[in-house]
């Protein structure tokens, strides 16, 4: 019986998030206050009392979800005993900190740097993402390759649900062709830019220097990384994959299938929301899923 712990990415935020966790103990309160200091603003004020709109800002969203996930894992104490971990996009940083590969403060600084770099990249070139429902991966990949503008598969979320990412013209054209190819829906997403696409190259360059400057250790268990859905414990390999992540796709379907092949039979989502539990169930109906509790 192997336990997998999974960590959510951007989109899992909600107003009031983390308040219960802050009040849980002196240790959790200290970690939140430490984060306020590291970030240079009181992110707890936005998390606990901010509006949905304020929480949607990338510079707030990413650290907020990271903090909720990592502090929850720490608050679980001995109950947090993973045989393997994975995180969806931003969640990979939460997974690495929770598995002991990356320090808490270093992880938070990297997430803040990542959010800023991504925001900057979206300002350089307006871009978009869209969710494609009801088509197999191969058809989506094939259509994207036929579009002359930049558009690529960005998130392999579960069978029949793939997110594409690219220039506005590229995404619009791909949506049109994918609907013609039989997609049930092609839904433009309310995001700031083309995450997990070549258009994030400027952000990747900025983030690379930050990632290379931090110390990574061997994690307490294998970490399944987004870029190729494989398990890693070697710090140098983990670093390399983390750098590639911004411009590469999130292979979530493949990640969960690999974890199941390697013996995972229960998946616990650590952080806000329950999106990942839903995706796991769509990938394998037999898989047990749960939310992490204090």
- The fold of 127-188 is Alpha-Beta Plaits (3.30.70)
**pLDDT tens digits, 238-247:** 999 999 999 9
pLDDT one-digit tens code per residue, 86-108: 999 999 999 999 999 999 999 99
pLDDT, mean of residues 182-194: 92
**Same CATH topology for 2-123+198-291 and 127-188?**
no
**Where along the chain do its domains lie?**
2-123+198-291, 127-188
Task: Provide the pLDDT for residue 76.
Answer: 97
| Catalytically annotated residues | 89, 196
* Nearest residue to 16 (alpha-carbon basis) of 42, 45, 46, 48: 48
The per-residue pLDDT for 12 is 92
pLDDT in tens, 260-277: 999 999 999 999 999 999
pTM over 0.95: yes
Mean pLDDT of 215-241: 98
Q: Is the pLDDT of residue 37 over 80?
A: yes
CA distances from residue 9 to 17, 123, 152, 240, 252 in whole angstroms, order as listed: 14, 21, 19, 20, 12
Domain 2-123+198-291 fold: Malonyl-Coenzyme A Acyl Carrier Protein; domain 2 (3.40.366)
């Amino acid at each position: 019986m192997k336990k997998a712990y999974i960590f959510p990415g951007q989109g899992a935020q909600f107003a009031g998030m983390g308040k219960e966790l802050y009040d849980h103990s002196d240790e959790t309160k200290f970690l939140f206050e430490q984060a306020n200091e590291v970030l240079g603003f009181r992110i707890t004020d936005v998390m606990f009392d901010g509006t949905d709109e304020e929480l949607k800002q990338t510079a707030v969203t990413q650290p907020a979800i990271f903090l909720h996930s990592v502090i929850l894992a720490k608050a679980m104490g001995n109950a947090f005993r993973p045989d393997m971990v994975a995180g969806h996009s931003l969640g990979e940083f939460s997974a690495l900190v929770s598995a002991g590969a990356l320090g808490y403060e270093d992880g938070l600084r990297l997430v803040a740097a990542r959010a800023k770099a991504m925001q900057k990249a979206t300002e350089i070139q307006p871009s978009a993402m869209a969710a494609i429902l009801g088509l197999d991966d191969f058809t989506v990949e094939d259509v994207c390759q036929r579009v002359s503008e930049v558009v690529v598969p960005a998130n392999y979320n579960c069978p029949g649900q793939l997110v594409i990412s690219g220039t506005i013209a590229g995404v619009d054209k791909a949506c049109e062709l994918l609907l013609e190819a039989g997609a049930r829906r092609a839904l433009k997403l309310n995001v700031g830019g083309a995450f997990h696409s070549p258009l994030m190259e400027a952000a990747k360059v900025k983030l690379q220097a930050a990632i290379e400057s931090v110390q990574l250790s061997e994690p307490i268990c294998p970490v399944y990384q987004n870029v190729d859905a494989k398990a890693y414990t070697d710090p140098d390999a983990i670093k390399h994959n983390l750098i590639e992540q911004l411009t590469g796709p999130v292979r979530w379907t493949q990640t969960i299938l690999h974890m199941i092949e390697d013996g995972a039979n229960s998946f616990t989502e650590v952080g806000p929301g329950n999106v990942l539990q839903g995706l796991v169930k769509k990938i394998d109906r037999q898989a047990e899923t749960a939310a992490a509790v204090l």
